[in-house]
Amino acid sequence: MFGRPNRNLRRAGLRHTPLVTARVGIIGGSLGGLSAACLLRDAGHDVTVFERSSSELEERGAGIGFLKATYRYLDERTAVNPADISVETSHIRYLNRDDSVAHEHEHAYLFSSWNAVYRKMLDAFGTDRYALGHECVDFESNPGSATATFSNGTTFEGDVIVAADGIGSLFRSRLMPDSTPSYAGYVAWRGMVPESQLPGPVTERLGDAITYYVYANSHILIYPIPSVSGSTAPGDRLVNFVWYRNYMEDGDLSNLLTDRNGRQRELSVPPGAVAQHHVDEMKAQAAGRLPALLASVVAATEQPFLQVIYDIEVDRIVFDRVCLLGDAAFAVRPHAAAGTAKAADDAWVLAQAFDQHDTIDGALAAFEPPQVRLGHELLERTRRIGFRSQVENSWTPGDPEFIFGLHRPGE
């Protein structure tokens, strides 16, 4: 799956003198921010990443679809073989309520974990220009410069700010206050279980496929991912589930987002923080509604967590010398497994625009139209999938529209 010839030659000619050199501050050190940082650094720009967390990031190994755009930098510009940090499945499989197979066909996917990809991308960028403990609290964008102010009292003054600060982006909220998250009507319950803690027959049936169960106004999918330590060996891996369930926005959702300490969350509730009565209800629903094979994975999950599904859509991503990247611009539903791929693609297109233009403003102007168009198209496709599964109940096993992909199903 990965073409890797002449890696040393590629790396030897990696960095070059750009047509114009920019001092770039990247706000947000997750996968999208790191992708932009590596690519712009490689292109000869002066790049610093500012991450609000005081420690390197961790998401407890949550699974991600490992699309080409996500692993492209590792594959083309590092010594990392993406196959070493991902699990390949060979089939898409749908189950009936009684655990029998309703439909299956051959289709190869790669799955990794957020942690595994983050570690390799951070290794590629390095930590010298990765500034922890820098929460951006204010910024200015002017025709020829951009400035960010941080809660620790420091500031960044440069030519460009890349806002990769996620779904709760300070930059988007200030620049486009009307572009607020729109609740999709459902949440994703998520969790991981070590294969070693599941019976052998369960891991055997789930180890070679992404496995779906679709029923009225809901669906669940399960697939294997690397362990928290990064191992992809059978028996060491994790089994990851994502279960989409509908909740009314008034009352039900607010109650669900009140964690076990009484704190009201907005976008997600992390592992260990979901109120126990909600965990108990979720596992009871799994036992009563899901195939026993899949319910056993949910039951074995010690610390499930949840993410609210929101849509965010914008018509602009460039504002003088600030540009939005990844979830800071568009928040798309997870059904195409393309959220991290979209952020990485934004980074590649941004770096290419700088390579091809002799002014910063020309580069930013070239970056904006294709990525706005891609964001609209991807969001519309994932909205349609969500409506078909959670509302319309028209999800047909084997329908090619449900194949993962960034630009279109399968691509």
Task: Give percent of the chain with pLDDT exceeding 90.
Answer: 88
Residue intervals in the chain for CATH 3.30.9.60: 82-115+182-310
* Domain boundaries 82-115+182-310, corresponding CATH code: 3.30.9.60
pTM confidence score = 0.93
Exposure string for 309-321, b = 16+ CB within 10 A, e = fewer: bbbbbbeebbbbb
Q: pLDDT above 70 covers what percent of the chain?
A: 95
**DSSP 8-state secondary structure symbol assigned to residue 85:** G
From 39-48, 56-65, 99-108, 310-319, the region with the lowest mean pLDDT:
56-65
- Residue 64, classified by CB atoms within 10 Å of its CB into exposed (0-12), middle (13-18) or buried (19+), is buried
pLDDT in tens, 210-226: 999 999 999 999 999 99
Mean pLDDT of 16-35: 89
| Domain 20-55+132-180+314-402 -> CATH class | alpha beta
**Mean pLDDT, rounded, for 38-60:** 89
Q: Mean pLDDT across the chain, nearest whole number?
A: 93
Contacts of 410 (CB under 8 A, 6+ apart): 400, 403, 404
Element (H, E) at 289: helix 276-289
Per-residue pLDDT band for 56 (boundaries 50, 70, 90) equals confident
pLDDT for 119 beyond 60: yes
Q: What is the pLDDT of residue 140?
A: 95
Tell me: pLDDT of 14 over 80: no
Q: Where is pLDDT greater, at 6 or 185?
A: 185
In the predicted model, what is the mean pLDDT of residues 362-387? 97
Q: Which long-range contacts (CB under 8 A, 24 or more apart) does 9-14 make?
A: 10/76, 10/77, 11/77, 14/42, 14/77
Stretch 31-43: mean pLDDT: 97
Give Cβ neighbours of residue 118 (< 8 Å, ≥ 6 apart).
30, 31, 34, 57, 59
Report the Cα–Cα distance between both ends of the chain, in Å, rounded: 14
Residue 19 pLDDT = 73
Asked whether the beta carbons of 392 and 219 are under 8 A apart, the reply is no
Classify strands 130-131 and 46-50 as parallel, antiparallel or unpaired.
Answer: parallel
